[in-house]
Structure 1
Amino acid sequence: MMIDYDAFPEQRQSYIQQLLNENGRVVSADLIKLLGVSEHTIRRDLQKLARDGICKRVYGGAVSHLKQSASFETRMTQSVAEKSSVAKRCAELIKANTCIFIDAGSTYLAMAEYIPNDLELTIVTNSPQIASLLSSRNNGELILLGGKINPQTGSTMGSDTVNQIHNMVFDQTFIGVCGLDPQAGLSAVYYEDACFKKEVIAQSNQVVAAVIADKVLQVARYKVATCEEIDIIVASKQSKIDGFHNLNLHLEIV
């Protein structure tokens, strides 16, 4: 027997939660047709699910609630193969005789291992781990931005860190991603980190975002940039990227 979703809100909300778990996103207009209920009903359901911490509302629908961010040391041991394929492709995008910024993050730490040692580069980073890995390079310059270290992001941040990049222009920036959604854009978990990323993007000629599956169709607390401000997305083949194909950016799946 067909469920009368209009009469049973708990079943309706349970079904919406199931769709969120399967797809990472729901669209209000689609839910109205699928469940045969009003726009007001769907809005109320999504508000309830958002209050329960199950999803985050975005324009036109909702996305799955961002998973709790693990420590940097823990993230280094997670999804290693997936990160490695994305990291390798990011390294291949680097052009010789340029100035690049590499954001902190386990994927970009993996990317640093793929950067050819003989490539002439100026590399700027806010990650002590990335700087340590690249410290033996003989070509070009390596600049580690100073500031307070956030143990969760594994990066330096704060006003001193931001002030340093105001005197720099980056040919390429490899920006860290906490959440990436076609409508909500790129977002970050921490306020200082979000502010810093915005400043880096403003100083960059090309912005590259590396993402794995658990970052896609996710929205963190603080907005960093729209997808239109990103030039290239390098995503793992496990990522749900259908919603990104119609955007004005270059998308690479590895």
Structure 2
Amino acid sequence: MSSDLPSSRIDAILARLASGQPVRAGALAREFGVSEDAIRRDLRSLAAEGLCRRVYGGALPIVEGATPMATRVGEDVQRKQMLADAALRFLEPGSFVFVDNGSSNLALVERLPPQLDLAIATSSVTIAAAVQHRDAIDLLVIGGMIDRMVGGAVDGTALEAIARLNIDLCVLGACAVSAEGGVSAYDPADAVFKRALFARSRRTIVLATNDKLGRHAPHRLCGVAALAQIVVEHDADADIVRDLTEAGATIARAAAQAQP
């Protein structure tokens, strides 16, 4: 067995994550002469502190700019409600709507008026929980392994399920939106899932808070001109909005105050 103290082992794991390397529990257990259970405890502890992202069999580095869904839900609630109110008019009665993972998208389903005739699909556990209490809305939950950073399933099982759907409107989650970089995401698996959603949808809209505008994430989903609408906040930067419009985007602005 290795004589390394747990602190030095954790320091070594953190150094690899900081350099952008993924880590595997089995390989680390062999290297440090400890059980995989011990390594998994290390990784769970690091993930709880926001220092890595747990995945099956190991962990991934935290990508700069990415925030877990559970954290995002409690941030800028009123601004997301205003975006949601502005997006409601794009939901046509009788349509089949896919609501992608995202805290602004959660605000949208929470702001749906009563007795709205819709069918909603989602792979987000939080969004599904918000919809399930609405008797007038049919709910389809896309299953798979839940990615806690993303907030729902984006794995191969989820991809297989959406390949069989014909979606009228997709409310796509986005990490970054810019004229040059288009709509983009931080996580590669999430990006693959989002591209598949976009491909299966007749129309796609994005609700973009100010912090996402003008930013770039590593994985491009689509160009801004390919979206039916980008819903932005009432005080979105005028220069960024102009650039988006010149790139072919259709912009809808939210009101300055959420509806009661």
Q: State the TM-score, normalized to the length of structure 2.
A: 0.70
For structure 2, the residue ranges without an aligned partner over 5 or more in a row are 1-62, 255-260
Separation in 2 of the partners of 1:228 and 1:250?
A: 7
Confirm whether residue 244 of structure 1 aligns to residue 244 of structure 2: yes
Which of 133, 142, 155 is the matching residue for 2:130? 133
Separation in 2 of the partners of 1:248 and 1:143?
A: 33
Q: Give the equivalent residue in structure 1 for 2:161.
A: 164
Confirm whether residue 202 of structure 1 aligns to residue 202 of structure 2: no
Q: Give the equivalent residue in structure 2 for 1:81.
A: 78
Q: What do the CA deviations read for 1:13-66 (whole angstroms, capped 9, x no partner)?
A: xxxxxxxxxxxxxxxxxxxxxxxxxxxxxxxxxxxxxxxxxxxxxxxxxxxxx9
Q: CA deviation at 1:79?
A: 1.5
Q: CA deviation at 1:140?
A: 4.3
Separation in 2 of the partners of 1:185 and 1:230?
A: 10
Report the AA paired with residue 246 of structure 1: E
Secondary structure, in 3 states, of the residue corresponding to 2:167?
A: coil
Q: Alignment identity in percent?
A: 23
Secondary structure, in 3 states, of the residue corresponding to 1:245?
A: helix
Separation in 1 of the partners of 2:126 and 2:107?
A: 10
Q: CA deviation at 1:251?
A: 0.7
State the aligned residue count.
189
Confirm whether residue 235 of structure 1 aligns to residue 232 of structure 2: yes
Contact 1:125-1:144 at 8 Å conserved across structures? yes
Separation in 2 of the partners of 1:177 and 1:78?
A: 16
Q: CA deviation at 1:123?
A: 0.4
Q: What do the CA deviations read for 1:177-208 (whole angstroms, capped 9, x no partner)?
A: 10111011011010010000000000111110
Which of 140, 143, 151 is the matching residue for 2:140? 143
Q: State the TM-score, normalized to the length of structure 1.
A: 0.71
Separation in 2 of the partners of 1:124 and 1:117?
A: 18
Contact 1:101-1:173 at 8 Å conserved across structures? yes
Separation in 1 of the partners of 2:236 and 2:248?
A: 19
Separation in 1 of the partners of 2:96 and 2:122?
A: 11
Q: Give the equivalent residue in structure 2 for 1:92.
A: 89
Secondary structure, in 3 states, of the residue corresponding to 2:121?
A: strand
- Mean alpha-carbon deviation: is it higher for 241-250 or for 102-111? 241-250
Report the AA paired with residue 248 of structure 2: N
Confirm whether residue 182 of structure 1 aligns to residue 174 of structure 2: no
Q: CA deviation at 1:148?
A: 1.0
Secondary structure, in 3 states, of the residue corresponding to 1:68?
A: coil
Q: What do the CA deviations read for 1:128-160 (whole angstroms, capped 9, x no partner)?
A: 111111102222420010011111111111111
Secondary structure, in 3 states, of the residue corresponding to 2:201?
A: coil
Q: CA deviation at 1:246?
A: 1.8
Contact 1:169-1:204 at 8 Å conserved across structures? yes
Report the AA paired with residue 253 of structure 1: R
Q: Give the equivalent residue in structure 1 for 2:216.
A: 219
Report the AA paired with residue 218 of structure 2: R
Q: Which aligned runs of 4 or more in structure 1 are off by greater than 3 angstroms? A: none
For structure 1, the residue ranges without an aligned partner over 5 or more in a row are 1-65
Q: Give the equivalent residue in structure 1 for 2:190.
A: 193
Separation in 2 of the partners of 1:133 and 1:140?
A: 11
Confirm whether residue 152 of structure 1 aligns to residue 149 of structure 2: yes
Contact 2:123-2:143 at 8 Å conserved across structures? yes
RMSD: 1.4
Separation in 2 of the partners of 1:166 and 1:72?
A: 24
